[in-house]
Amino acid sequence: MIIDLVLSNTKAYINNEIVGCSLAINEGKIFRIGKEANMPKAETRIDLKNLLVLPGLIDVHVHLRDEGKAYKEDFCTGTAAAAAGGITTVLDMPNNNPVTMSVETLRRRMKIAERKILVNVGFYSEFPKNKKEIEEIIREGAVAFKLFMAEQIGGLNIDDDHGLFEAFKIVSSLKVIVAVHAEDKTTFKRTEDELKRDNHNDIEAFLKVHSERVEVTTVKRLLNIAEQTNVHIHFCHMSTKNGLKAIVDGKKSGMTITCETTPHHLFLSVDDLRQTGTLVLTMPPIREKHHSIALWNGIRNGWVDVLASDHAPHMLSEKKADSVWNVKVGVPGLETTLPLLLTEVKRGRLSITDVVRLMSEKPAETFELKGRGCLKEGNNADLVVVDLDREYRIDASKFQSKAKFSPFDGWNVEGKPVKTFVGGRLIMSEGEIVAEEGSGDIIRRG
């Protein structure tokens, strides 16, 4: 038998250990892990010269845009950015144009994506107006629901707790996750209106509106409904000490909840926001140092389940405005997340085990992405080869993403994804995309 590919001379992360071995890959799957002498004949052999091989990263929070917002990013550039960053699977957020919130919009989005994606993509849906459609959307293959609490985007009235309760009950019975952006419009609207009325249009005003209190209040409001419905809530991009504490309290009480945080909330503080300006404006915003310290602590204690980039590309021109209220919020993150984390491995703040847990194992487990998240025989051959000794400077002008800016532009990092394989196919090598569009798979639930 001649198989597709053998990766020789690797140090691979297998069963929580880094072991010297070779990896045989056939028909998109890991066929065998073992000594070189035990590898079958293969069409192609690549000598990885002792580089580290990790399970491909899974980024559960990505705005790929496309369709009506393709001028910011499209399936091709967004998934190229993922591949460049060592990420082999992304979950696409639904705040698109049109909003992904029905069988039709989901089906069309998948169809367009199919021909363009370079890594695997699963899709979130916002809630439909008609609750009967919830099950149909899941049957169509949505991986999870997303609930944006800061503005009415989907069909579910975010001010109506009873409506949320009814929807959560259905989702809970289907054993599907609801990922939430926990900033409640009703909680911050009055402050926002007052500040706007008095012409407060700067970053300080934005920070007053998007306060810690808003995050905490929303987390508690949703935990309360989750408790009554048993739904699995996944809290996106946690950014505050007490927001995280509310989640930890919920976990301690036995609730099935998970949460994520982002590199920008971990590595940056409000000083960076003040210094760099609205270019790094995100929602929720980056905050005072004690919040990022609490988030790091949450990572150490295992309270933070998942790291995700919240890759939110915009045009550069949209990132500046006379008024902070007109700035598009969000920053790209697919190409900086892994290098930043590997740099922390070098510095001793994280271990490789932490990186794999936070960005491969836990995302796969939480969102039930079967056959992904770890290197073992039979799993999909999604993997990233990293060079831990490669030092370089982040240069946003070289991004694959259309959004060629970053809060981390100019940062020196150590550790680089040098090859990305998706389903056994080499997609990225030394920063270059070497595969055809359409090489990635659409991931459907179930």
Name which of 313 and 373 has its Cβ closer to ligand DOR.
313
DSSP-derived pairing of the beta strands 412-422 and 425-429 = antiparallel
Is 181 an interacting residue with respect to Zn ion (CB under 5 A)?
yes
The item of ligand DOR, Zn ion, none sharing an interface with residue 329, based on CB under 5 to 8 Å by kind, is ligand DOR
Q: Where are the alpha helices (DSSP H) in 74-211?
A: 75-84, 103-114, 133-140, 161-173, 185-197, 203-209
Question: How much of the chain is in helix, strand and coil states, percent to nearest 5?
Answer: 35, 25, 40
Is 181 an interacting residue with respect to ligand DOR (CB under 6 A)?
yes
Is 425 an interacting residue with respect to Zn ion (CB under 5 A)?
no
> Are 441 and 116 a contacting pair, CB within 8 Å?
no
Catalytic one of 74, 310, 382, 387: 310
Nearest to 375 by CA among 356, 352, 350: 356
Please state the closest distance from residue 264 (CB atom) to ligand DOR, in A: 9
Please state the closest distance from residue 348 (CB atom) to Zn ion, in A: 30
The item of ligand DOR, Zn ion, none sharing an interface with residue 282, based on CB under 5 to 8 Å by kind, is ligand DOR
> Which tokens go with 354?
């932490």
Is 310 an interacting residue with respect to Zn ion (CB under 5 A)?
yes
Please state the closest distance from residue 317 (CB atom) to Zn ion, in A: 20
Nearest to 250 by CA among 261, 265, 272, 235: 235
Nearest to 225 by CA among 285, 182, 284: 182
Please state the closest distance from residue 368 (CB atom) to Zn ion, in A: 21
> Does the annotation count 74 as an active-site position?
no
66-95 footprint of ligand DOR as x/- string (CB under 6 A): -----------------------------x
97-136 footprint of ligand DOR as x/- string (CB under 6 A): ----------------------------------------
Size of the site for ligand DOR (CB under 6 A): 8
Q: Distance between CA atoms of 147 and 145, rounded to whole angstroms?
A: 7
Is 283 an interacting residue with respect to ligand DOR (CB under 6 A)?
yes
Name which of 116 and 181 has its Cβ closer to Zn ion.
181
**Helices 289-300 and 241-252, interaxial angle, to 10°?**
30
What sign does the CA torsion over 136, 138, 142, 148 have?
positive
> Which tokens go with 257?
């909840």
Which residues contact ligand DOR (rule: CB under 6 A)? 63, 95, 181, 282-283, 312, 329-330
**Which residues does the annotation mark as catalytic?**
310
The contact set with Zn ion (CB under 5 A) reads: 181, 310
